A = this chain, B = another copy of it.
Amino acid sequence: TVFGPVYAQTMPRLRWRMATSWPRSLDTLFGSAEIVAKRVAEMTDGRFEITPYPAGEIAPGLQVLDVVQAGNVEMGHTANYYYIGKSPSLAFDAGVPFGLNPRQQNAWLYFGGGLQAMQRVAADFNAITFPAGNTGVQMGGWFRKEIRGLEDLKGLRFRIPGLGGQVMARLGVTVQTLAGGEIFLALDRGAIDGAEWVGPYDDERLGLHRAARFYYYPGWWEPGSTLSVLVNLDRWRSLPKEYQEIVKAACAEANERTLAEYDTKNAPALARLQRAGAQLRPFPTSVLQAANREATALYEEIAARDATYRGIYENWKKFRDESRRWFGFNEFRYEDFVRTLR
């Protein structure tokens, strides 16, 4: 086969800034942004250089979409449920209470029409979005007193953002939103009664076990939170096709590796937290049931007033129910048995 001459390719040198929602100290979350940057550099021999910045350095942590939309930075690394105020549909990109686990989330995004739907929504904000990290099922957070039933939630001052917070509010919780760096002090001083962050590894880094004793599971409000890379749409279109494909691949790698990193690091972190005195407690079934009821009611209310959300929600719900049935037969029957081994 004749290939013709060796081509002299001229690929541009680019230096982009990436705003993130994460403090540098959280090496899982900020590290996920660093994976994207590192892999793009490696695949382009350093010609396409991306620098991630911690929350607050070039943009506030919860305004990454805003600065990407405005074109103040070329790209960002965040979780799109921070932007449900702009469009409630974006909740499905990161995941919702009692929603999909990480594998189901990837399946829906890549093969269930999810990512296309999310990219249509993001385009309204002059951005394109790609999955680029996953935390796994999160923990239910830290409480100064035990939660024995629904009555213990009434009036409880609990730090929890997003839709999980809205569900908690419907259960009588006084919901607080604090940035990651503020949680420890508020909990330690008794300004709040409890707080959720992510899971054992990240929570340990924030020191939450030194401010509250009871560590609840599971974090039903975040069963597989997807992190996302956002790129300004004009900047995206200006990229050579190969660079676009390389960015996509780097995001996919971050999506897979960050989950694997959490799955690795959370296991010994949980053991360390227990040795340090953390008391593990499952949420009472009555709390899970009431929370699921309120979550479903909340989704239906949003669907009644937002047609875009309604379309995505109906597709998502069908996918979720079919997927749960399949996982229940096989994956979890295997795990049921494995859990009897010890």
Contacts and interface: CB of A to CB of B under 8 A. Distances in A.
A106 B268 contact: no
B43 A330 contact: no
Contacts of A257: 110, 252
Contacts of A263: 103-104, 106-107, 111, 323, 326-327
Nearest to A324: B338
Interface in A237-268: 241-242, 245-246, 249-250, 252-253, 255-257, 259-261, 263-268
Contacts of A328: 339
Interface in A9-49: 9-13, 15, 39, 42-45, 47
Contacts of A108: 264
Contacts of A109: 260
Interface stretch (A147-155, A160-168, A280-288, A300-308): A280-288
Give the number of copies in the complex.
Answer: 2
Given A1-B15, A8-B10, A245-B42, A218 B334 contact: yes
Interface of A: 1, 3-4, 6-13, 15, 39, 42-45, 47, 98, 101-104, 106-112, 136-139, 199-200, 217-220, 223, 241-242, 245-246, 249-250, 252-253, 255-257, 259-261, 263-268, 270-271, 280, 282, 285, 288, 292, 322-335, 337-339, 341
